[in-house]
Amino acid sequence: CVTLDVQAACQDTRVTQELLKEGFHRDLLVKVELGEDAGGCAVAAQIRLPPGIYVDPYELATLQQHNLTKAVLFPDVIDVEAPEYLSRDLLVLLFLERDTRCSRCFRGAVPVHARYHRPGEGTEEALVVLESPEVLLCCCHSHQSAECWEPAEVDAPCSSDNTSPCQWHSTKHRPAYEESMLRVPVGLREHNSLVCALTLLTTGLCSGLILAAACKYGHF
């Protein structure tokens, strides 16, 4: 690994993230531009996902087998069926790949999914706000400036292919970034009575049809 002028990187590092596609199933794209060429350093983005959005660990494992993305989840056991109000935050360490068009640029993407929310009152959508990712750097034998970088409490290797521990460092400066928001469709609370009545009516009708068919064609 080579020494990185982290002071310059601290001043000029820029981070952007973007939600691609539409609906409940999206791709979260993260781009990082450092102030200097990172050389042999590993670059990652630490993303905190709120309860309203999650990463499917089974889908992630399949993508990593095909080398389409590299990430580590904390915790690694996730209930993909739980609604937003019964879920908790999820931490994603997304390993970034160098952009071939820019020696100081890195990017990575991971599929994310919106959870079902409680019905809203007077609104048909819930907002899920994604905070700015934290830029992490791991350089062998380099000397990070204490003014710009500090050791990060990240218990993860330098890559998804390596199991040995790694000392990550995070930048103290605030990246140039605008919050991303995911709009999730929700039901209306004022429709609760109507929905319950229709559900009960449909359930009773279907149960009656099944019972009639069983009595007509069944053998008891």
pLDDT value at residue 177 = 54
**AA identity, residue 147:** E
Q: Does position 160 have pLDDT exceeding 70, yes or no?
A: no
pLDDT digits (tens, 9 = 90+) for 122-147: 677 888 888 888 888 887 655 555 56
Q: What is the pLDDT of residues 192-207, one digit of tens each?
A: 677 688 888 889 889 8
Q: Binning pLDDT at 50, 70 and 90, where does residue 190 land?
A: low
pLDDT on residue 60:
94
Mean pLDDT (the chain) is 80
Q: 159 Cβ partners below 8 Å, 6+ apart?
A: 42, 70, 95
Please report the pLDDT score of residue 5 as a whole number. Answer: 40
- Residue 169 scores a pLDDT above 90: no
> Please, which pLDDT band fits residue 172 given cuts at 50, 70 and 90?
low
Measure the CA–CA gap between 7 and 148, rounded to whole angstroms.
6
Tell me what the mean pLDDT of segment 24-42 comes to: 83
pLDDT at 41 over 90: no
Nearest to 10 by CA among 33, 29, 31, 41: 33
For 26, phi and psi rounded to 5 degrees?
A: -130, 175
Identify the burial level of 110 via C-beta atoms within 10 angstroms of its C-beta, where 0-12 means exposed, 13-18 middle and 19 or more buried. buried
Q: Is pLDDT above 60 for 8?
A: no
pLDDT at 3: 35
Write the pLDDT tens digit of every residue in 76-86: 889 999 999 99
Which pLDDT value is given to residue 94? 94
